[in-house]
């Protein structure tokens, strides 16, 4: 009889509630998720996204999968030349060559 009273008292207290462990696990999981996101941003060197300054990032310059990411105020724009060309469906042709001289002057030579 004495054992039943101890057993009932232990689970009627708030400290002995087995569901309180689940709440604590949820809190730990949320902290872990935020820490994981912050470490991923730091690893990818994308800390500029959180600054208030405007910026432009060019990913994979000169390749087919090149992307240009710009931030203007609170708006972030993403431009991918290959996807824009496929949506436009207009074709172009080469009309000339541009050369930049050592003094910064640019000369255009039509073909």
- Write out pLDDT tens, residues 48-61: 767 778 888 888 87
pLDDT (mean) for 33-55 = 82
Instruction: Kindly state whether residues 4 and 30 are assigned to the same domain.
Output: yes
Query: Would you say residue 16 lies in a domain?
Result: yes
Amino acid 82: pLDDT: 58
Of residues 42 and 31, more confidence is placed in 31
Domain count within the chain: 2
pLDDT (mean) for 64-74 = 83
Enclosing domain of residue 62: 52-91
Angle 91-94-100 from CA coordinates, rounded to 5°: 135
Instruction: Kindly state whether residues 3 and 39 are assigned to the same domain.
Output: yes
* Pairing status of strand 55-59 against strand 67-72: antiparallel
Instruction: Kindly state whether residues 33 and 70 are assigned to the same domain.
Output: no
Instruction: Kindly state whether residues 29 and 61 are assigned to the same domain.
Output: no
Of residues 30 and 7, more confidence is placed in 30
Amino acid 9: pLDDT: 55
What are the Cα distances from residue 96, in Å, to 37, 73, 76, 107? Answer: 47, 37, 34, 10
């Amino acid at each position: 009889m004495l054992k039943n009273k101890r057993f009932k008292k232990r689970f009627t207290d708030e400290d002995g509630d087995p569901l309180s462990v689940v709440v604590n696990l949820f809190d730990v999981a949320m902290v872990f998720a935020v820490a994981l996101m912050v470490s991923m941003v730091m690893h990818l060197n994308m800390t500029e996204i959180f600054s208030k300054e405007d910026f432009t990032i060019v990913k994979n310059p000169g390749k087919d999968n090149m992307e240009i990411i710009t931030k203007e105020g609170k708006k972030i724009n993403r431009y991918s030349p290959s996807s824009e060309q496929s949506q436009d469906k207009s074709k172009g042709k080469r009309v000339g060559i541009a050369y930049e001289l050592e003094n910064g002057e640019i000369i255009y030579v039509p073909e």
